[in-house]
Amino acid sequence: MTRNITLSYAAQTHVGRERPHNEDGVAAYSFSSVTNSQAITCGLFVVSDGMGGHNAGEIASMTAIKSMVSAINRDYFQKLVQSRFFRLPDNVYNYHFKKMKPPVPPLPPRRVLPQAIQRANRDIIELSRKNPAFFGMGATITAAIIVDRTLTVASVGDSRCYVIGREQLKQVTRDHTIVNQMLELGTITPEEAKYHPGRNFLYRSLGSDEVMELDVYEEELTPPVWVLLCSDGLNNMVSDEQIQTVIDGARSPERAATRLVRIANRAGGKDNISVVLVKVSW
């Protein structure tokens, strides 16, 4: 049996100090299955930042989270467990259950995550068309699946994913903002980007197009390592250096997440703050 990882995590969202209500949403859960010959640990982690007038932003992020969790459970986790753990040997199927087909393995996360995000996008668009109060609502989404040591991330908007080791922080996702485009083209400097008035203007978000373009990333993790998903209410208030310091001194995901939210609020708390923090260890 291969060595099995352990996932411990915390998920927090806070309204911040200036917004009247919280339009962010988070989801985090994991499970492990073990038999005499196989073991697997899996987790789904999601952050969504809603946009829209009245309560529409909250509705958009909630719809995105609900749609994502439902799709991944149905199309990935259930099929993964059935095909890996509840599958009888082929000779048993061939001899005793000639009319019964063995369970079909799921598509890999790099294909399942985009499909789930497209479903969430369609759900948001459909809901906005049915209710005029929700017209034009949208959301960012960054979702990660961890299976054993493989991290797969899909992202739309400017909610981020980081992989953090000892004294080493890597931003996995790229922001779908106008300012980040300018930064990548070299028309502004990183220092100018920090204070640019349009730094939060998105060119890609759920609810904006029928067919959504998104980014997908895949990485092999080397435990012990941390995975952080957050809305821009955290990374706009807390520097990479501060995040690294918190993680290096972290005793638990819960304490570290609480501290990150506290630092963001002390820096001004200008937006809703959401954190999903996962520790991957042996």
pLDDT in the model for residue 209: 92
Dump pLDDT digits (tens) for 223-240.
999 999 999 999 999 999
- Is pLDDT at 34 greater than 90 in this prediction? no
pLDDT in the model for residue 190: 85
Q: pLDDT over 70 for what percent of the chain?
A: 91
| CA atoms of 251 and 280, how far apart (whole Å) | 13
pLDDT class of 85 with cuts at 50, 70, 90: low
DSSP of 40-67: EEEEEEEEEEEE-TTTHHHHHHHHHHHH
Of 260 and 31, the structure prediction assigns the larger pLDDT to 260
- According to DSSP, residue 184 is labeled H
Of 245 and 82, the structure prediction assigns the larger pLDDT to 245
Distance between terminal CA atoms of the chain?
Answer: 14
| CA atoms of 87 and 90, how far apart (whole Å) | 8
| CA atoms of 200 and 93, how far apart (whole Å) | 56
pLDDT in the model for residue 141: 98
Share the mean pLDDT of the chain: 91
| CA atoms of 27 and 275, how far apart (whole Å) | 10
- Is pLDDT at 102 greater than 70 in this prediction? no
Domain boundaries, the chain: 6-172+207-281
pLDDT class of 1 with cuts at 50, 70, 90: very low
Of 273 and 201, the structure prediction assigns the larger pLDDT to 273
Whole-model pTM: value is 0.92
Taking the C-alpha atoms of 55, 59, 62 and 66 in order, what is their torsion angle to the nearest 10 degrees?
Answer: 160
Dump pLDDT digits (tens) for 43-55.
999 999 999 866 7
Best CATH choice for the domain 6-172+207-281 from the list 3.60.40.10, 3.40.50.261, 3.40.50.300, 3.40.50.2000: 3.60.40.10
- Is pLDDT at 91 greater than 70 in this prediction? no
Nearest 5°: CA angle at 102, between 96 and 106? 170
pLDDT in the model for residue 199: 78
Give long-range contacts, CB 8 A cutoff, 24+ apart: 80-84: 80/40, 80/42, 80/105, 80/106, 80/147, 81/33, 84/33, 84/38, 84/40
Nearest 5°: CA angle at 86, between 110 and 154? 15
- CA-based nearest residue to 231, from 64, 41, 94, 34: 64
Respond yes or no on whether the N-terminal peptide bond of residue 105 is cis (omega within 30° of 0).
no
pLDDT in the model for residue 11: 98
The predicted model gives 164-183 an average pLDDT of 94
Alpha-helix runs per DSSP H in 97-203 = 109-130, 178-185, 190-195
pLDDT class of 207 with cuts at 50, 70, 90: very high
The predicted model gives 176-199 an average pLDDT of 87
